[in-house]
Amino acid sequence: MNIFLYAIIFICGTMFGSFYTLAVYRIPKNIDIVKKHSYCPNCNHKLGILDLIPILSYIFLGGKCRYCKQKIRPRYLILEILSGCAFVLLAYTLNINVYTVTFVKAIPLMFMALYFTAVVLIAAIDKEYRSINKKVLAYGICISLLYMIYLYVIESNSIYRYAIYLAIYIILLSISTFVLRRFAKDDYYIDLLLYYTIMLMFMDGIISIFTLSLFIVEVLLHIIIRKITKNKNGNIPIKFEKIPLGFYLGASNILVIFMMCMANLFK
């Protein structure tokens, strides 16, 4: 019975993974992610139900569009599989099984799914455009505030920690809205801090510290690799403002959470 439950959770995870690929493509282009029907970005043909089944559609179509035969990037399949596995791993870590599953028990898993949506979308969009998307950032802030209310009302957690984070939100948003925009300054780094504050809301201190540490390591590795490439290919300047910091921060957070879940799995 547990296998059946985890199979359902895996399928739900693959659906989220499929949504991630759609949203990362559409949000920066201001294309509606809800009302507009799914279509092939190459031939613009509307996709049918059989074209939208996570994992299976990719396999049965041979990794190509049914209509124009354009190859579909393998990363779509990989993301769907990883999302499904991540959901199962989170459910197991939260001790969700056929004997313990209840609506109240499932709420933390639902919040984590919503949280991962914000983290993945911000990271993936930043990787492509080196920009923290403000719409997704606003979504992440709303989800974190709802999670704060849930923890205080349902779990009876202390409100002081979250009140501090809320104050940080207000200060950073005020700086971004009333100061930086007024003087036409880049608010990328303020948005990056807001992104990390969202993580603080959902993660405990250890995960937050590990995330920040791994983030620093990843950025340093990026700079080192670019310097090596620069020496091989000539005088190519390394511009810090071109480094997708949001991508590395999101990747670090997901990797740390995954490692923590794996450690819990083998206890």
Sequence spans of domains, the chain: 149-267
User: In the 8-state DSSP scheme, what is residue 41?
Assistant: T
Report the pLDDT averaged over residues 60-69: 86
Report the pLDDT averaged over residues 30-52: 83
Q: Are 6 and 101 in contact (CB under 8 A)?
A: no
Q: Considering only CA atoms, which of 130, 136, 128, 203 is closest in space to residue 165?
A: 203
Q: Are 197 and 168 in contact (CB under 8 A)?
A: yes
Among the residue ranges 171-175, 184-188, 206-210, 254-258, the one predicted with the least confidence is 184-188
The pair of structure tokens assigned to 27 is 């949000």
- Return the bridge partners of 64, or none: 71
Q: What pLDDT band is residue 62 in, cutting at 50, 70 and 90? A: confident
> Would you say the C-alpha torsion 93, 96, 100, 102 has a positive or negative sign?
positive
Report the pLDDT averaged over residues 112-118: 93
Report the C-alpha gap between 124 and 246 in whole angstroms. Answer: 8
pTM recorded for the entire structure = 0.87
pLDDT per residue as tens digits for the range 145-189: 888 888 888 777 777 777 787 788 888 777 776 666 665 566 788
Report the pLDDT averaged over residues 59-85: 88
Report the C-alpha gap between 200 and 246 in whole angstroms. Answer: 15
